[in-house]
A = this chain, B = another copy of it.
Amino acid sequence: MPGPTPSRGRTGRPPRTSRAQILEAAWRLIDRDGWQKLTMRRLAAEAGAAPTTLYHHVRDRDDLLTQLLDDYAARVPRPELPEDPQERIVAAATAMHDSLAAWPWIVEVLTAGDFMGDSALWMVESIVQGAVDCGCTPEQAVDLYRSLWYYTAGEILVRAGTARRRAEREEREGREGNEGREGNEGDAASSGFSAYDESVRRRLAGSGLPHLSGLADRWPRLVTRETYPEGLRAFVDGLLSHARGAARNARGAPRNPRQG
């Protein structure tokens, strides 16, 4: 894993490939053929090197993807954050969410680290800062950041995973049979529901669980709602008020802050 600069006057065989060139080739490949085609072998061909050569500049595929993500995060313009500390937390978390949600292949990378690369540290800082300004201790502030990160990462991972499955399913169903045909699945297809949605509906309806049965028809619509912002605000409210409660308890009487 050599430095980026070939820096003359050095010993050893002069490098013909650099990390920067590899990243460039990766972006080119993604833009041209889509990220699903980004394999080590294809990337090597695009970069004009043998596949195994890549491993001298990149630890493994995950490392490459992580660097690509950081590369991307560095290009995201840093928004101006509101002054109100709570709003600042919300804005920074939203920035995290929106940067990541634009990456369909995020799933393979996101579980890697505690947070993103250097280029995105300012989001972490902003959240911690906002929490401290709201009266949190440093420990509470980091816990708050982590909780928000879990929520954010989970939302993105689950939704991206669901979308990917759906795409695969549709490709599969499209490949085998009924192309152009209609009415094969009843009115499910004509109302925008897939055969899979219908099977889920049946599963819920026959589960014997009262609430889920009652919601079976509406389920496909309910689970695709976009509720990240609302959930985020609720979470921030809850976390801050719990932190305030804990601070009160630490100072004064050990009263339970839950309002039963």
Q: Which residues of B contact A222 (CB under 8 A)?
A: 138-139, 142-143
Partner of A231, one of B138, B147, B218: B147
A3-11, A42-50, A155-163 - interface stretch:
A155-163
Contact A146–B227 (Cβ < 8 Å): yes
The answer to whether the Cβ of A150 comes within 8 Å of any Cβ in the partner chain is: yes
Contact A147–B234 (Cβ < 8 Å): yes
Query: What separation, in Å, do the CA atoms of A155 and B143 have in the docked complex?
Result: 12
The answer to whether the Cβ of A27 comes within 8 Å of any Cβ in the partner chain is: no
Interface of A is mostly: helix
Q: Which residues of B contact A203 (CB under 8 A)?
A: 118
Taking the closest CB of chain B, its distance from the CB of A82, in whole angstroms, is 12
Contact B227–A238 (Cβ < 8 Å): no
The answer to whether the Cβ of A223 comes within 8 Å of any Cβ in the partner chain is: yes
Q: Which of A105-143 contact B (CB under 8 A)?
A: 107, 110-114, 118, 121-122, 124-125, 128-129, 132, 138-139, 141-143
Q: What 1/0 flags go to A162-185 for Cβ under 8 Å of B?
A: 101100000000000000000000
Partner of A132, one of B209, B211, B223: B211
The answer to whether the Cβ of A72 comes within 8 Å of any Cβ in the partner chain is: no
